[in-house]
Structure 1
Amino acid sequence: MKVLVISGFLGAGKTTFIKNLSMKTGKQFAILENEYGAVGIDADLLKDAGMKNIWEMSSGCICCSKKGDFAASILTIANTIDPEFLIIEPSGVGKLSKVLSHIKKVEYERISILSPLTIVDGESIDKYRYEFGEIYDDQILSAGQVIISKLENSPSDVVQRAVENIRNINPNVDIVSNHYLTMGDDWWEDILLKLHDGTKLVEPKDEEDESGFDSLALEDVSISNPSRFILLLEDIIRGCYGNIIRAKGSLALKGDVGLRFDLADTKYSVITDDDVSSSNIVFIGKDIAKDRLKKIFIKKKRYKVVKNT
């Protein structure tokens, strides 16, 4: 799981940026949203944009009062949902350095931290630096890249002054002064490849071999009822989930009853088996719709919105 922190002071445009990052890269994200108040407004906006895998932590800041719950939430997401990417959107009034420090405490071989981003409202740099000083500067000092927002219609001298203000805080940070929607595809993709230490990931093709075939293996899955599962198999052989040429596995159902299934090309078989004790499945093919299949089989764990109060 790769963790990307998208920071920024209140009203900088973090939530809008996350929606555009998903659209530009074609990636689905798990999102850990920290609302300082008790009502998750930003989470609702993300859900309206089609993002359902959202964890909410409200009524506190993950850099201080909620730091214990925050670290536990990251490990829970990694060990149960295990998404490719987890985006963390901290409260706009928290210190980015502390958020990163808490993540590093739970970093291990399955959790890597990407270079953090800070969105800066170019119109409010002077105001917020004066009013919030250390907290505001920390978000720029701890960022791997600063993206200036809300100056797309401003004259070049105003944009340059914003760049200089940021440079005065952090002389070495990468700054994007053009509106991010004008950036090329490589820039968007690099956001999901650059690690916090400056090195760059080599994007592997997940479980893909030289033949070009791909696979998806899922453990401890669940399905609501056998009839729905049969409909799913019908959709698979019709190509609704990619070009899946082979699938097999077992499903433990309620009442000490289980199913074993086998699918090859356009044919499948399903039999009941009282000895089934685990639910594991594998799909083999090309262009497999992995996110959609995961949503079906691990929906209860993956897409439940959790509110920590």
Structure 2
Amino acid sequence: MKIGILSSQVTDRLNPLVTMAEVVDEAITAESHGFDHFWIVNSPWGMDAMTVASVAGQHTERIELGTAVVPAFPRHPVTMAQQAITTNIALNGRFTLGIGASHQPIMEDEYHVDFQKPARRMREYLEVLVPLCQGEHVDYAGEFFGANISLRPPGFCPVEVMVAAMGPLMLEVTGALGCGTLPWLVNAERLEQVILPKINAAAESANKRAPRVAAILPVVAADDVGKTKELVHALLETGPKRESYEELKRQQGATSHADIAIIGNASEVEADLRHLKAIGLTDFIAAPLRVDETSYERTCEVLAGLRSSLVESHDFR
């Protein structure tokens, strides 16, 4: 199981307007700590994550850089593929494109983009996007999207496409057509009982290789779990409620997203990571929360230390 870090654009309520320079610094720090990948948040109201990844790539050498996640439907899949391929060229093949359907209120009220039949729409989107990102010619005409084009610019490298899929229909589509999923705020029990079996079965039925499952969870390394959980609750429960996440929270038996976060000392965090690896997770993406002035850096240091020891003992893939 590989371990990565999520940038702090969304998880930093103390300083929500994170600059490009700050995100690039986080990517540099993630690489210096030895993490396998760094994922850049694409807030609907913030910077374009692929552009930020291209800049971060000029300041890093080894680490995989990905987006978590770019809203798909406002961009035509050919446009998305072209930008992803260009970003991957700039990163010498280190880029992974993470996309998602986003949320109905954001798409319809703010982007004025139709959100009907999101799973069907995503299936057609991937039918165009994925082959283009693999360098294939696409000749496709669907209800929502179509294309007749190839994209192989000089320096072309194939781009993996992952989808923020958590519901049954979206997992089925992603398993059949994508490279993996990026579930956010999903606990180990639901990962084991729903996410992993559903996406793996879809991939197997489509004769695809086993997909990546890169779960993203908030993490805070702290000794005082009770106090920290209160701070995490205040951070994660602030702002507009997205019905899809509220329903997901209820399905997991949680009253707060703080119940799903990983909070504890180094030993407790290690135990949670070992459990995630044991259930079959291929990747873990930590979202270190800034609940105080040192929590982000402290959590990254703890995770880096755990990753090193776990890799050395061959507990991680």
TM-score bucket (shorter structure): 0.3 to 0.5
TM-score by length of 2: 0.33
Larger Rg: 1
TM-score (norm 1): 0.34
